[in-house]
Amino acid sequence: MSDTLTTAPTDLLPAARQALKRYYGYDNFRPMQGDIIQNILGGRDTVVLMPTGGGKSVCFQIPAVVSEGTCVVVSPLIALMKDQVEALKANGIAAAYINSSVGQSESNDIARAAVSGHLKLLYVSPEKLLSEGFLQFLNRVNISLFAIDEAHCISSWGHDFRPEYTQLGALRNHFPNTPIIALTATADRLTKRDIITQLNLHEPKVFLSSFDRPNINLIVRGGQDRINSIIDYIGRHPQDPGIVYCLSRKTCETIAAKLKTKGIKAGHYHAGMTPNQRGAVQEAFLQDDLQVIVATIAFGMGIDKSNVRWVMHYNLPKNIEGYYQEIGRAGRDGAPSTAILFYSFADVMQMREMVTKDVPARQAQLNTAKLERMQQFAEAASCRRKILLNYFSETLHEECGNCDICRNPPTTFDGTLIAQKALSAVFRSREKVAINLLIDILRGMRNQAVLQGGYDQIKTYGAGSDLPYLDWYSYIHQMLNDGLFYIAYEEGYALKITERGHQVLKGQLTLPLKKFQPAEKAEKPTRASKKAASAASTAAVGTPEAQLFDKLRRLRKAIADEQGVPPYVVFSDATLQEMAAERPVSRVGMLGISGVGMKKFETYGEAFIKLILEDGGGQYVPSDSDSMFNEPRPRLAKAAADKTAGADKPVNDSEDATVQFHQMGLTPEDISERRGLALSTVKTHLYTAYAKGRELRIQDFVSDSELAEILTARAQLGNDASLRDLFDHLREKYDYFQLRMAGLYHKRLRGQ
């Protein structure tokens, strides 16, 4: 890459932050996004490994917006292009796509817009990009950068290899001075290396974001009575969209039909359907007209629906990469979500036959090894999130607390000595042995592989002869899951010791292991547990915040239907949840909600503010000029006219009335009941009054010790942290009202 690229100015980062707020409605970049964007704006090749929902798209969309020219995005599926372009347009960003669904006339119009510099992002498929004449056309376009999405498709070591991706290395030859950014949510060590090599990237900076998705609750259940378990779960989450993944087309159709008989809005999706049929089902799901999609893995890649609340696997996936990518379709908006995997050993046998049938021996061996890792995840005795992160070379140092193992830990014993025997055998065999050979060495077997390798001469030969094969098989996989080894697939599946493994070998760490026993049936939920879960769900739905969220969701659906876009393009669930908690009733308040940018505020803000006010007992009165750029004025449906002890006259002004009741010693709950207002409305009055400088007893809402704790947390996060960041950091200990009041109190202390 030329010096022009590597010395390009990086002073566009402030403009990038402004674009993030203006077009996306966010005050701050997520972890690592700012560094990635600065690297791209510096004209350097970049590799981004970031989980689904981590904000990969922003990493190339923001540089495209603030740079001169057009960003060309290579994307594997039409659905992905369509969703992202619709979302970009909704945010006020000029974007388009060219693929087989676009007619010649429209393609010509898009091409002219790109050549004239009116497009910021142009999405194309790899086949289209490399087709005859298209590269010549791109020579007429001022290209700011190339973004290769789903870049793991380039590697035969990955789980979703696509031959057409291997030709993308030609981009470097045709455009040697244009930066390339490769992005993926699922890439292990080998796949990452392939991406860099095959795209001919020049000294790229690799950004490995945390693969942790802490908002996803990981659960594995026994394979018995799957249908009723699915129906029971959906019954307890009647408004939450979800996906059920199945192994076969027939199973998809059967499950969807059974769900429909229970009154559930469900559809099926698989490769045996016509494109029009698949498109109709997918569109209905995106539009929230279907709650559930029952699908093979043909569905989902590139689906940008942010409000999928759960994903279930009816059958065991064939590898961890695929499983991780599929569960990543839940909770893309960051809100709490669930991933449930049904597991039985029969699934393993069925999948083993599928992944080895009619494929070359090398590929069959690779597929089998990856399936075994998936099996061990399902049978795990330790934190499931740790296992997933270890697979992607990331270490979680404490239990996640949001998986079934962490909530119900199995009984373990000190397995350090067992682990040290295995680690020592791997070390003394120069890290050249695979799992089965390692077990043979430990058990003192005298077969050809052991004798030819001279492994009968090492010190730990036979050190584990007291344990049978299946015990060692279980313990070694537990060690793999705990990050003591990794498998070098390219070296004959040899085990390699990690840094954590060396610490255990040296006695610096202890290792708990679960005593091996054959896979047991998972306990079925009891009637009492089902009743408790149902009661909890009903209680949550009945809260004022939940009721407002449901109203906001219905309004979003009506707007989306009118505009012909998916509801999440209007606002994400996370944005609506924050609206329901914060109840913004002004332009400033609404723009302070994460996910509300200027364009969306101008388009939708008035409708949502009006609904929030009406829900709180008020009425929206737009100004005579431009209502969207003036503060809405709440007009109460009824005034508080009753006299109270100590009050000389009826109080009609809403905020003043609330303050006077507070000064009489009433709590916000008392005021809410006395005045017939929503508690959130009362809290808004108190916050607004305190912000204006009126004297309130702040300790009535937040004690001195709580103020100190919130101040400390704010200092740890930094002044740029959002209210949502602070809320999450303090583990939801305080509500938004307390956090906002504490923020004002701290400003007063600083004289601001």
Q: What is the residue extent of each domain of the chain?
A: 3-208, 216-407, 412-513, 542-631, 654-749
User: How many of the other CB atoms lie within 10 Å of CB of 94?
Assistant: 18
CA distance 526 to 171: 58
| pLDDT tier at 230, thresholds 50, 70, 90 | very high
**H-assigned helices in 301-395:** 320-327, 345-356, 361-378, 384-391
CA distances from 518 to 344, 464, 470, 471, 515 (A): 12, 20, 9, 10, 10
Q: Is the pLDDT higher at 577 or at 344?
A: 577
CA distance 2 to 202: 10
Q: Is 482 helix (H, G, I), strand (E, B) or coil?
A: coil
Q: How far is CA 306 from the centre of its chain?
A: 9
Per-residue pLDDT at 140 exceeds 80: yes
Q: Is the pLDDT higher at 211 or at 524?
A: 211
CA distance 71 to 63: 8
| pLDDT tier at 242, thresholds 50, 70, 90 | very high
By the 8 A CB rule, do 676 and 638 touch?
yes
Q: What are 360-404's pLDDT values in tens digits?
A: 888 888 888 889 889 889 888 789 999 888 888 788 888 888 999
CA distance 668 to 673: 9
CA distances from 254 to 121, 266, 315 (A): 41, 11, 14
Query: What letter represents residue 418's amino acid?
Result: I
Strands 337-343 and 310-313: what pairing?
Answer: parallel
Residue 314, token pair as written in the block: 């009816």
| pLDDT tier at 728, thresholds 50, 70, 90 | low
Lowest mean pLDDT among 201-205, 268-272, 297-301, 423-427: 297-301
Per-residue pLDDT at 46 exceeds 90: yes
Superfamily of domain 542-631: HRDC domain (1.10.150.80)
| pLDDT tier at 253, thresholds 50, 70, 90 | very high
Q: Which CATH class is domain 412-513?
A: mainly alpha
User: pLDDT > 70: what percent of the chain?
Assistant: 86
**pLDDT for the residue 158:** 57
The dihedral region occupied by 51, where left means phi > 0, alpha psi between -120 and 50, and beta the remainder, is beta
> Which residues make beta-bridge pairs with 621?
633
In terms of Cα–Cα distance, which of 352, 219, 282 is closest to 80?
A: 282
**pLDDT for the residue 143:** 94
Name residue, tokens 């009006």.
610
Topology of domain 216-407 in CATH is Rossmann fold (3.40.50)
**pLDDT for the residue 540:** 46
Strands 512-514 and 412-414: what pairing?
Answer: antiparallel
CA distance 579 to 596: 10
Angle at 97 between CA 93 and CA 103, to 5 degrees: 130
DSSP letter at 167?
G
Residue 569, token pair as written in the block: 């393009």
CA distances from 471 to 191, 415, 439, 464, 513 (A): 32, 12, 10, 10, 11
Containing H/E element for 32? none
CA distance 525 to 647: 57
In terms of Cα–Cα distance, which of 709, 735, 712 is closest to 724?
A: 735
DSSP letter at 299?
S
**pLDDT for the residue 719:** 65
Q: What are 402-415's pLDDT values in tens digits?
A: 999 888 887 788 99
In terms of CATH architecture, what is 3-208? 3-Layer(aba) Sandwich (3.40)
**pLDDT for the residue 299:** 63
Per-residue pLDDT at 534 exceeds 70: no
Name residue, tokens 């409000």.
307
Rounded average pLDDT over 193-216: 87
| pLDDT tier at 8, thresholds 50, 70, 90 | very low
Residue 107, token pair as written in the block: 């393609």
> Which residues make beta-bridge pairs with 310?
242, 338
Q: Is the pLDDT higher at 651 or at 540?
A: 540
**pLDDT for the residue 565:** 83
DSSP for 245-282, please give it: E-SSHHHHHHHHHHHHHTT--EEEE-TTS-HHHHHHHH
Lowest mean pLDDT among 92-101, 224-233, 534-543: 534-543
Q: Which of 3.30.70, 1.10.530, 1.10.3470, 1.10.10 would CATH assign to domain 654-749?
A: 1.10.10
Q: What are 677-688's pLDDT values in tens digits?
A: 777 778 888 888
Per-residue pLDDT at 99 exceeds 50: yes
Upper half-sphere CA count for residue 36 (Cβ side, 13 Å)? 30
The dihedral region occupied by 492, where left means phi > 0, alpha psi between -120 and 50, and beta the remainder, is left
In terms of Cα–Cα distance, which of 105, 101, 173 is closest to 139?
A: 173
CA distance 571 to 566: 10
Q: Is 30 helix (H, G, I), strand (E, B) or coil?
A: coil
Q: What is the pTM of this model?
A: 0.59
Same fold, 216-407 and 412-513: no
Q: What are 551-579's pLDDT values in tens digits?
A: 999 999 999 888 888 898 899 888 998 89
Per-residue pLDDT at 650 exceeds 60: no
DSSP letter at 284?
H
Name residues whose C-beta falls within 8 Å of residue 8's C-beta, 6 or more positions apart in sequence.
41, 42, 43
CA distance 233 to 99: 39
Q: Is the pLDDT higher at 357 or at 263?
A: 263
Per-residue pLDDT at 531 exceeds 60: no
Q: Is the pLDDT higher at 633 or at 506?
A: 506
By the 8 A CB rule, do 231 and 264 touch?
yes
By the 8 A CB rule, do 325 and 331 touch?
no
**pLDDT for the residue 518:** 47
DSSP for 571-611, please give it: --HHHHHHHHHH---SHHHHHTSTT--HHHHHHHHHHHHHH
Per-residue pLDDT at 11 exceeds 70: no
Q: How far is CA 130 from the centre of its chain?
A: 31
DSSP letter at 403?
B
Q: Is the pLDDT higher at 358 or at 678?
A: 358
Per-residue pLDDT at 611 exceeds 70: yes
By the 8 A CB rule, do 22 and 597 touch?
yes
| pLDDT tier at 36, thresholds 50, 70, 90 | very high
Q: Is the pLDDT higher at 146 or at 728?
A: 146
Name residues whose C-beta falls within 8 Å of residue 642's C-beta, 6 or more positions apart in sequence.
650
Largest pairwise CA distance in the chain: 101
Rounded average pLDDT over 59-68: 93
CA distance 477 to 327: 22
Q: State the average pLDDT for the chain.
A: 82
Angle at 290 between CA 287 and CA 291, to 5 degrees: 110
CA distance 521 to 719: 50
| pLDDT tier at 617, thresholds 50, 70, 90 | low
Lowest mean pLDDT among 447-461, 468-482, 619-633: 619-633
| pLDDT tier at 298, thresholds 50, 70, 90 | low
**pLDDT for the residue 10:** 46
Per-residue pLDDT at 311 exceeds 90: yes
Upper half-sphere CA count for residue 214 (Cβ side, 13 Å)? 9
DSSP for 676-713, please give it: T--HHHHHHHHHHHHHTT----GGGTS-HHHHHHHHHH
**pLDDT for the residue 293:** 94
Instruction: Provide Rg for the chain, Cα atoms.
Output: 29
Per-residue pLDDT at 504 exceeds 90: yes
**H-assigned helices in 448-526:** 448-452, 469-481, 499-505
Per-residue pLDDT at 542 exceeds 70: no
Per-residue pLDDT at 633 exceeds 80: no
By the 8 A CB rule, do 225 and 344 touch?
no
By the 8 A CB rule, do 698 and 741 touch?
yes
By the 8 A CB rule, do 471 and 477 touch?
no
Q: Is 518 exposed, middle or buried (0-12, 13-18, 19+ CB in 10 A)?
A: exposed
